[in-house]
């Protein structure tokens, strides 16, 4: 019993320290939404803004490019 308790207490900080979020995917979603919402004037967009994370920044850039392309292809009315 005591060994299990020590094991749990010892591993808990390690589990809490893990950042399991896919920051590239989050950045892509933020970049896509922010680009379309800003350019089309739909609404303001809250983003994570974790640009110090290289994966997030790369995903945001790709999402913004994809959003601009979708807007050019489909127009704002179809993206509502």
- Structural domain for 50, as ranges: 22-79
| pLDDT grade for 15, boundaries at 50, 70 and 90 | low
Residue 7 lies in a domain: no
Residue 34 lies in a domain: yes
Q: How many domains does the chain have?
A: 1
Residue 2 lies in a domain: no
DSSP annotation of 2 reads H
Which residue in 15, 78, 66, 26 sits closest to 50, CA to CA?
Answer: 26
Query: What is the model's pLDDT at position 13?
Result: 64
Residue 65 lies in a domain: yes
pTM: 0.73
Structure tokens at 68: 């601009």
pLDDT tens-digit map of 21-68: 899 999 999 999 999 999 999 998 899 999 999 999 999 999 999 999
């Amino acid at each position: 019993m005591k060994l299990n308790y020590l094991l749990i207490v010892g591993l808990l900080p390690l589990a809490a320290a893990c950042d399991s979020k896919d920051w590239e995917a989050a950045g892509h979603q933020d970049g896509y939404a922010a680009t379309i919402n800003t350019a089309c004037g739909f609404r303001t967009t809250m983003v994570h803004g974790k640009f110090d994370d290289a994966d997030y920044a790369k995903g945001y850039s790709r999402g913004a490019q994809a959003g601009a392309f979708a807007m050019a292809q489909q127009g704002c009315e179809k993206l509502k």
